[in-house]
Structure 1
């Protein structure tokens, strides 16, 4: 078994969401991938923000600051971590945010460190599809095994044809057959957001998932010391 990479969910280790502090805490705790949420202002500044309050797309960045909000910019965060051995999961909250994110990733020369999840439609058609970790539907968790296998095979085929880097799905939706199909097509499998549970973690590790999004990075990182005897490094 391969120990999956840990993705530090924004706000990990009790820090503020979508902040430099959160990213720094994720790195310090041992996560090789950091997740942040991305939206775009009216003047095309990519900012780290989950909810659209106030309406980010209707305000210029300076106007956004005047509301009392002080969202971190994607450019600053990528610049801060551009020389470190860490990657980013940019969770795009709108399709338009993808274009602003592309501009910042290009400007900071961090393409080797970036993956996109969320609203990835524009990214998929921009020539950067291999950086997409395609979000699969939550309804997968409700399917019987026969229907699940049919859907999983079709989705993995579509992801491969689109030349995506992999798939991203809720952990409840992930079953062994999907992981097998994804890997047959050369796709990574990421799952989110796993609560801290040692047995649950080893269950998905046994399936062969490639990365797991978590809040409690330190606790999950410590599980390396108690891996099953047949586990691999």
Structure 2
């Protein structure tokens, strides 16, 4: 391989774990991921927690909303999960619990911000743990990216690519607009669903010094394809397979010719 192997980002709910759980974080760390990705929302009293959706069902069938509950109320509940082919029960974890684990492992946290109010809540914890250099903010379209830039320009963020833009405009125009939006908000890279990645995007992003992070690649054949394209990071639920691919390709490149 000529390009460095991409950073391995463990998607929330990697392997057989439930999404946005401490088990997911610990599994990604144990398997050797470089980055741990989790979704961020905020409770009624401003506490950042790990959750993709605002609406949940409790184990006994009640409908609740994270944004309408205090952290004390929320953490008393056992929630029912049926998502991404997985089912079970879980309790809500706090962002500070994630950051403590990522900091101890010496790797990077990818915080996928689901709401604008999660910006301030996440920033406060990032600074509390002195982890500005260990955190990437994602979930940022142009407006949220600009909000981060205006309120916390010291934090690193990726621009989430607008899929609708690529569906409604010519690919070249969508790439140009995306790169312009990233530059306007001082984003350090692009966060792109793998289905939208073409050489043109990679070339234009590279010309503007915007590393490309792709998500979510679970199939091993696709992993090998993207690993050879100069991608900065691959997000996957199948962390074990991507780690094995990295080891096999690294072994091949370090063999001494006979």
Aligned to 1:191: 214
Q: When you count strand as a share of all residues, which structure comes out higher?
A: 2
Taking a change above 3 Å as real, the CA distance of residues 179 and 129 of structure 1, as seen in their structure-2 partners, is farther
Question: Cα distance, 1:197 vs. partner?
Answer: 2.5
- Which stretch shifts more, 77-86 or 207-216? 77-86
Q: 1:58 aligns with which of 61, 68, 71?
A: 68
What is the CA–CA distance in structure 1 between the aligned matches of 2:16 and 2:199, rounded to whole Å? 32
Q: 1:95 aligns with which of 102, 116, 120?
A: 116
Aligned length: 229
Normalising to structure 1: TM-score of the pair?
A: 0.89
Give 5+ residue unaligned stretches, structure 1.
none
Using the TM superposition, give the Cα deviation of residue 143 of structure 1 relative to its aligned residue in structure 2, in angstroms: 6.6
1:164 matches 2:187: yes
What is the TM-score normalised by the length of structure 2? 0.81
**Structure number with higher relative contact order (C-alpha < 8 Å, ≥ 6 residues apart):** 1
Distance 1:82 1:197 in 2: 29
Unaligned segments of structure 2, at least 5 residues = 56-63, 80-90
Contact 1:168–1:192 (CA under 8 A) maintained in structure 2? yes
DSSP-derived class of the 2:151 partner = coil
CA distance in 1, matches of 2:227, 2:168: 22
- 1:224 is aligned to 246
For residue 12 of structure 1, the aligned residue among 11, 14, 26 is 14
**In the alignment, structure 1 residue 86 sits paired with structure 2 residue 104:** no
Q: From the superposition, tell whether residues 72 and 3 of structure 1 become closer, same or farther in structure 2 (CA, over 3 Å).
A: same
Deviation at 1:205, TM superposition (A): 2.5
What is the deviation of 1:16?
A: 2.2
